[in-house]
Structure 1
């Protein structure tokens, strides 16, 4: 009996390994990394769910031609119902509404609700449905982008999904800090193109070059560039950012699981005198993600890095700032899943005034965080260290 169990476990691990590597190879062969041109748009930073939802929902209500929405997660709760009702109402009044959701991330959305949306005229599709022959890989590779494009003129990108916790209404997580961008100007065309690419990948309907969705757009004041990644190339960007730093590196992420290569780059930056500050949440919203971070904290703290742990609720913002001349805000976390598995979309912003506003805001959140000392780091129990060992083994999939 023991032999049979052991054989089954070994066979399962072998299948997972083969499935993952062949599935990843197939996915990367068909998915295209895109570095969009440098643009100029007007960009507004939104940092709490109440502000974002009020603005987003109102903009959707005011749309007259097309509403294209991609989210990783839409929950089955009151705020999700309000959001979906707005989409249904717009579709029933003749506005083209496309809603693209990640299959796993939005799995709580009921069949009844989905059918009600379709009955209203909403064109709804799911991204990355698990499928053979690479079932394990397709269960892991997620579309983590959050893109909204309205009438081809106004767009949104960032870390928020749709659900009550993003309003701070989850009693366990409390207040929710996140970063989301509202973009008006020529950069919206790139988010429109990415949405239509993802829609084509999920449905086979190809409107990527349809001029109907690309109206003339004004030039804004903030220079920026979008990068779209599919489980590859994002790590290379982050490495180039770190190597480019001369004075300061500021990293914000709810999940800090960088891997050895980027850890070594951060240690090298510290060794050449660059100040490195990292903001992570004190709590966690997923099992083992906190434990998977801790093995990286020790070497960084000893090298002079400042690890700030946000305790005023949950910190979900994703941002990298380099020397006050580059600010990266988007959907990607500073972790292996974003580097090697997820489809992500990031905005690289070069507007120094905007960057300073973001920096001032993050520094304010330092006042709502606790600096992790090496003495506190060393006080972890044997049980906690054991969990960290296990978390490290599975950190690629957290």
Structure 2
């Protein structure tokens, strides 16, 4: 009997302490951090409903480090030069060739926005190739890696130790033996399965490899929530890749659970390669404390074709959620259509309202999301937005031919964006992301047609059918929706 009473008193003390800590954290969330109301309410619910687990979740995932700037760029030579060039372009835009280009003139607001919020310099004379699956991306990338003569800079969220991962690493090892400089950044959470022996092996070949924001105690509690989700490759300063495809077999062969993996990537040649090199250089300085300023990393590049690009980034190191702001501008200024693909659709309130306003104002707004998902809570959270979307006139499609992992948006046969950013809170506010805004009619048409093919491989959500979904599914959606700002 005494043991039961003793054990009960201990449990009572633990739960009382958890509630007291929860109350203190709630006060901190509400009064000290000045968060968005949506995220504030979500954390309050978590802390009140599951106090003990909620405290643990908040310590690991709830702290806000945007204002502290995880990566401090001040003083970096490359960043300073980009700031000056972006400022000059923003001032001289009305008098420059930008104002004489039909599409650029029409997209003046979007261009100026990105010059101001992320120093996203406008780059001319580019060739852009759209890669619509893992097989085409890796075939192209391997061919370019084999041609490398001076350096290879590679950054991925996931580098898997599987067939394609080993094949890519074998190429890097051979190029390093040839005297090519090879630098690699992988995210510590995305590439969690890689062991220390793996890194030691690559370093034995002269490859410099670092993990981004190592998840170790005590730093685990402050940095686990901020991941580098970028997928970037730069080869000799002449060719670059970015998009949604990591290095893993599933991007080629799919998976038993989800089927074929549908994704989108870009190969870029021209002036815009230097923008991606600058982004890599900043991240490289953070992980290695070495600044890449040699002119060989920024070789002079002749105009190849006529595509105009802005490479936009955002993350905890930025003053503004630049990519989200770019998407918001693109949606709100569309006149004819906006097509979107995203594997995780948990938009901020501003994006959600912009989509509704566009659709109700006569713009053809279409969104394709997965029918099958690799995460249940994100699946149901994404679906919790479907009803209000279709009620506003947005056409929502559930992809049937496997799993769609593309992060794409295109508007009015004028501008298209392909990158690493999902249409969700995490990508907009917490992850380090990168996306390319391409101002070109032919390219926009190509992206639109690829999305139209995705729509044809999808099932459109019809209002009368959606109403008939099981009550259990509605409950799961409502529950998951509470956590969407935290996922």
Give the TM-score normalised by structure 1: 0.94
Q: Deviations over 1:218-241 (max 9, x none)?
A: 223111111111152322222211
Partner of 1:337, secondary structure, is helix
Pick the structure with more strand per residue: 1
> Quick one: which of 418, 434, 448 aligns to 1:359?
448
- Asked if 1:35 is matched to 2:77, the reply is no
CA distance in 2: counterparts of 1:87 and 1:18, whole angstroms: 38
Structure 2 SS opposite 1:301:
helix
Name which of 168, 177, 190 aligns with 1:83: 168
Q: Does 1:215 align with 2:299?
A: yes
Q: Which residue number in structure 2 is paired with residue 304 of structure 1?
A: 393
Aligned match of 2:43: none
Alpha-carbon offset, residue 282 of structure 1: 1.1
8 A Cα contact 1:185 1:217, kept in partner = yes
Structure 2 alignment gaps of length 5 or more: 1-7, 22-51, 75-116
Partner residue in 1 for 2:426: 337
The answer to whether structure 1 residue 4 and structure 2 residue 13 are counterparts is: yes
1:25 corresponds, among 64, 67, 70, to 67
Q: Is the 8 A contact 2:312 2:322 kept in 1?
A: no
Tell me, in whole angstroms, the C-alpha distance in 2 between the residues paired with 1:7 and 1:93. 64
8 Å CA contact 1:24, 1:137 repeated in 2 = no
Q: Could you tell me which residue of structure 1 aligns to residue 323 of structure 2?
A: 234
Structural mapping, 1:147-226, within 5 Å: 147-207=232-292, 209-219=293-303, 220-226=305-311
- The match for 2:5 is none
CA deviation map 1:220-275 (0-9, x unaligned) = 31111111111523222222112111121111111111032221111111221111
Q: For the residues of structure 2 that align with 1:186 and 1:234, how far apart are their CA atoms?
A: 21
> Which residues of structure 1 form unaligned runs of 5+?
none
Residue in 1 that maps onto 2:24: none
Number of the residue aligned with 2:142:
57
Provide the residue aligned with 1:317 in structure 2.
406
Q: CA RMSD in A?
A: 2.0
Partner in structure 2 of residue 108 of structure 1: 193
Pair 136,292 (structure 1): closer, same or farther in 2 beyond 3 Å = farther
* Contact kept in structure 2, 1:35 and 1:226, CA below 8 Å: no
Taking the aligned partners of 1:272 and 1:192, their CA distance within structure 2 comes to 40
The counterpart of 2:463, out of the listed 368, 371, 374, is 374
Distance 2:407 2:250 in 1: 17
Q: Structure 1 pair 313/60, CA: closer, same or farther in 2 (3 Å)?
A: same
User: Which protein has the bigger helix share?
Assistant: 2
Distance in 1 between residues matched to 2:150 and 2:232, nearest whole Å: 17
Report which stretch shifted further, 331-340 or 262-271: 262-271
Query: Within 2, Cα distance between the matches of 1:30 and 1:118?
Result: 27
